Amino acid sequence: MQIKQGHDINEKKQHEVGRLNKLHDELMSKANDEGKNSDENKLINLRRESDDLEKHCNELYREWIKKQTLLVQQNNKLQEVHENVVELSNKKMIMEQKKMRLN
C-alpha cells in the first residue's frame, strides 16, 4: 500500500515538473522587452522549483525501489519458512506413523 502511494506521489511530482517545464517554455516564448526582468525572475524561480521537484521525485523513486527490494527479500524469507514448516510437518507425520507401527 505504501509502495503504491509512493509510486502515485512520484507520478504526481513528475507531472508537476512537466507542467512547470511547459509553463517555463510559455514564459520564454511570451517574454518581451518591457517585462523581461520580472519574467526572468519568474523563470529562474520556476526552474529552481522544477529542479527541486525533480530531485524530490528521484528521491521518492529511490525510496520506492528500496522498499520493493525489501518486499522481495521478505517474500523470499517467508517462502523459506513456509517450506521449512511443510518439511517439518511431513517429518512429524512420518515419525508419528513409525511410532504407531512400533506400538
pLDDT tens by residue, 27-47: 777 765 455 667 778 889 999
Q: Domain spans of the chain?
A: 2-102
Q: Which residues contact 60 (CB under 8 A, 6 or more apart)?
A: 6, 9, 10, 13
Tell me the pLDDT tens digit for each residue of 39-68: 778 889 999 999 999 999 999 999 999 999
Measured in Å, how far apart are the chain's first and last C-alpha atoms?
54
pLDDT (0 to 100) of residue 7:
79
Q: What is the mean pLDDT of residues 86-92?
A: 96
Determine the 3-state secondary structure of 103 from DSSP: coil
pLDDT (0 to 100) of residue 36:
62
Determine the 3-state secondary structure of 31 from DSSP: coil
CA 80 to chain centre: 26
Dihedral sign of CA atoms 91, 96, 101, 103 in order: positive
Is 0.85 topped by the overall pTM? no
